[in-house]
Structure 1
Amino acid sequence: MSLTHLPSLHRPASHGAGVRHKAQSMLHWGLSQGLPNVVVKMAARKGDLQGLLTQAGSGDEIWEVIDQVRAQGPLVKGRVTFITADHAVVSEVLTSKAFRTGNPLDRLGFLATASIRLRPDTMHPLVEPSLLVTEPPDHTRYRKLVTRVFTMRAVEKLRDRAETVARELLDELEGRVDLVEQYCSLLPVTLISQILGIPTSERRNVLAMGSDIAASLDFGLSWPEYRDVDAGLRRFDAWQEAHIETLRKNPGDDLLSQLVHVQDEDGTLDMAELKATAGLVLAAGFETTVNLLGNGIKLLHDNPEELSKLQQDPALWPNAVEEVLRIDPPVLLTARFAPEPTTLEGQYISAGLQVVVLLAGANRDPHVFEDPTRFDVTRANARDHLSFSAGRHHCLGAALARMEGEVGLKSFFDRYPDVTLLPGAQRRPTRILRGWRTLPAQV
């Protein structure tokens, strides 16, 4: 019997579809999030580092777990996965053909098969054809279509626009404000909306949907969290289809209009490919930058001597952005799995096993960065961080994020050098993405 047609799901037509969706969602949550989370919690109680890592979330307690990982060696075998905070090992995993993206559970056992069958039919950043989990040749094809908008030359053409948007947003700040809501989020979403042909009237809606689905990258969601993410993904999915159809009928000179009509050697992108690609471009274009700007404002506010260096020598701003990315990265970790048996750091890794790579840990590796916990805008090798990953899955929006970070932070502190951050700042509750949900200030 098909797992998607269980007898208990049959109801009268008036509400059967809704009941079926809820039951199917609960089953999928239980198999993909609930049951694994129970296993992880049990492992955490026994001191397993993967369990402790998941329980730590994205708050400052993450640094203690990373230190524990580092103390146990360059590659640590946990009860479920391998983990590394070593810069060299992280780099090797991210660039090696012996490891790939994707969910290794998709390859294993009845529960994995059931979970796949029960997946919601909406687009998800961790389900193909998302660029995050596809590999060549599909990955090469999708990436080629969108790379041109994120080249250094293309990004520099947007600098004047970024400076104008920053200036306009700063003009509206007065008194007590939330810098995340009123500045850090609006600057990048305005620029990426221009790239994707999103009308000004839709931008706050898109920003809200982005916030709703940010936790879709996380592992071990509670049922309420999973339900909220699922609802957010469905809203975003419906919005994307409508937006793509609008551009199909009335194309502009934006990237998404070009993608809708592009023809390459493999033909036109289908709707699923368009939604997956556009969704990731949207996320790559603003999700990391919101966190970068918030983290940067907090770091420079709390380290006035570093801000003073930038005021005395504005040429340091690009390096300051790299140092913000290094010491407080917008993305804490990612993972790869071995499709075939392999070895790493002398340890045997069987097919299907995952290696969790702590980007934040690699960024504070004392073998690479002297005094790694010190925030130093003059650090000579700050750009050696791995905050944008590496290899074929290096972040598409890296150049754009760097430019927006430089423009956004410099513009802010040029205008408000004496800003006061107020009590009440809150970190985002996400486990993979690290940033501020609220950053109250007096300007």
Structure 2
Amino acid sequence: MEFDPWDPQFVAHPYDVYAELRRRRPVSLFEPTGQWLVARHADVNALLRDRRLGRSYLHVATHAEFGRPDDPGFQDPFWRVIRAGMLDVEPPVHTRLRRLVSKAFTPRMVEALRPRVARIAGELVDAFVERGGGDLIAEVAEPLPVTVIAEMLGVPEEDHRLLRPWSADICGMYELNPSAEVQRAAVRAAEEFSAYLVGLARARRADPGDDLVSALALVADEGDRLTEEELVGTCVLLLNAGHEATVNVTGNGWWSLFRNPAELERLRADHGLLPTAIEELMRWDTPLQMFERWVLEDVTVRGVDIPRGAEVALLFGSANRDPEVFADPDRLDVGRADNPHISFGAGIHFCLGAPLARIELAESFGALLRRAPKLELVIEPSWKPGYVIRGLTALEARV
């Protein structure tokens, strides 16, 4: 089997292909997308930190200067929202946005959310147990981060149901060569979510509450504030990054444990292993398999020259199984102590929401381990077609 992000068999199990890439072609051109695949941990980690690459090139060149077509006009509402957040921009804009957002989204604020996260996770798991089980993703994994983020932003409870579809549709644009239908759904979701958040932000500016939208609307640093578009872009990023990753770590993680029953029993016998288990589940089957960067200046990686204007595809799933970094990398080890996985990225774009994700995962997995100690799989799950953001369609389990 070759690297083929559109092949369901590859999506279901890409790790043998990754091993071959690391051995024979750690840096290689993937003709169908024109991207340079980078497979080894050391290179992925270095390139994430290398300022000769960026999430965007628009701060140094036009599309034409990079040999790229202009964005189709119908995508304008999507990119206006996405490029107003910090993920798809570079310094100095990124530096300014991250500084302002970090003033509102503080470690103290995130830690203060722990009791609320524990309450939500406990309620979801209790309901799941009372039903005797069901779809672990739809009934526990998805509602938890949506509810946490919605409450954190100050979204009224009756509007929580809007967030998940918006997030899923927007993230569709990050897959490789998305279809016209997927692109239009992403644009529509960006427009709807943006309009909703503008209304919410204006209401909070006039009458602030104890929520993140209020904090972002009021945050200032030496007179500098977030614009309305930047506030919207930041909230969209928090929903998408925080939600999609947590859902898929939960689903992929439990599927990993079911496939490795000895490690599941080890975790059930010692809940103190939960912190290392969560890091290991993120490493062993990470939901974000690929993260892309544009080459802003010529670079050479393992003797391969990659020119300015090219795009590199950093294979997180491969880097996290690199035997040069991880002992026995294909073995799931819930007690793995030395675990420098890169599932949260590295460098200036390291995930700002990583502490919140770890709290959500700890409370979710912990509640299930305590309240459903005999949780078992009902039917082998299937994977969604997406490769870049990789997760299961459902995970049916009984208690």
Answer whether TM exceeds 0.5 for this pair. Answer: yes
Counterpart-to-counterpart distance in 1, 2:257 and 2:287: 16
Q: Per-residue deviation at 1:142?
A: 1.0
Query: Residue 22 of structure 2: which of 70, 75, 79 is its match?
Result: 70
Q: Per-residue deviation at 1:229?
A: 2.5
- Mean CA deviation greater in 385-394 or 415-424: 415-424
Partner of 2:47: 93
* Contact 1:58–1:433 (CA under 8 A) maintained in structure 2: no
**Structure 1 residues 391 and 237: CA distance shift in structure 2, 3 A:** same
Highest RCO, 1 vs 2 (Cα 8 Å, sep ≥ 6): 2
| Structure 1 residues 52-102: Cα deviation after superposition (integer angstroms, max 9, x where no partner) | 245569722432432332232332234422211100000110001111112
| Structure 1 residues 99-125: Cα deviation after superposition (integer angstroms, max 9, x where no partner) | 111268953469834x33625232349
Which letter maps to 2:335? T
Computed over aligned residues only, the root mean square deviation of the Cα atoms, in angstroms, reads 2.5
* Contact 2:40–2:322 (CA under 8 A) maintained in structure 1: yes
Query: Residue 257 of structure 1: which of 214, 237, 256 is its match?
Result: 214
**Structure 1 residues 412 and 148: CA distance shift in structure 2, 3 A:** farther
* Contact 2:268–2:373 (CA under 8 A) maintained in structure 1: no
Q: Per-residue deviation at 1:403?
A: 1.4
Q: Per-residue deviation at 1:159?
A: 1.7
Which letter maps to 1:71? R
1:426 aligns with 2:392: no
Query: Residue 415 of structure 1: which of 371, 375, 378 is its match?
Result: 371
**Structure 1 residues 260 and 156: CA distance shift in structure 2, 3 A:** closer
Partner of 2:172: 215
Which letter maps to 2:365? L
**Structure 1 residues 171 and 110: CA distance shift in structure 2, 3 A:** closer
Q: TM-score, normalised by structure 1?
A: 0.82
Partner of 2:90: 135
Query: Residue 56 of structure 2: which of 102, 108, 128 is its match?
Result: 102
Q: Which of structure 1's runs of 4+ aligned residues deviate more than 4 A?
A: 54-58, 103-106, 148-152
Query: Residue 164 of structure 1: which of 119, 124, 148 is its match?
Result: 119
1:386 aligns with 2:338: no
1:308 aligns with 2:260: no
**Structure 1 residues 56 and 73: CA distance shift in structure 2, 3 A:** same
Which letter maps to 2:231? L
- Mean CA deviation greater in 75-84 or 130-139: 75-84
Query: Residue 235 of structure 1: which of 174, 178, 192 is its match?
Result: 192
**Structure 1 residues 127 and 326: CA distance shift in structure 2, 3 A:** same
| Structure 1 residues 368-407: Cα deviation after superposition (integer angstroms, max 9, x where no partner) | 112211111011212x000011000001111111111111
Number of aligned residue pairs: give it: 393
**Structure 1 residues 375 and 82: CA distance shift in structure 2, 3 A:** same
Partner of 1:18: none
SS of 2:224's equivalent in the other structure is coil
Counterpart-to-counterpart distance in 2, 1:58 and 1:347: 26
Query: Residue 195 of structure 1: which of 152, 157, 172 is its match?
Result: 152
* Contact 1:123–1:272 (CA under 8 A) maintained in structure 2: no
Q: TM-score, normalised by structure 2?
A: 0.90
Larger radius of gyration, structure 1 or 2?
A: 1
Partner of 1:83: 37
Q: Per-residue deviation at 1:274?
A: 1.3
Which letter maps to 2:55? T
Query: Residue 154 of structure 1: which of 99, 109, 114 is its match?
Result: 109
Which letter maps to 2:274? W
Unaligned runs of 5+ in 1: 1-43
Q: Per-residue deviation at 1:132?
A: 1.5
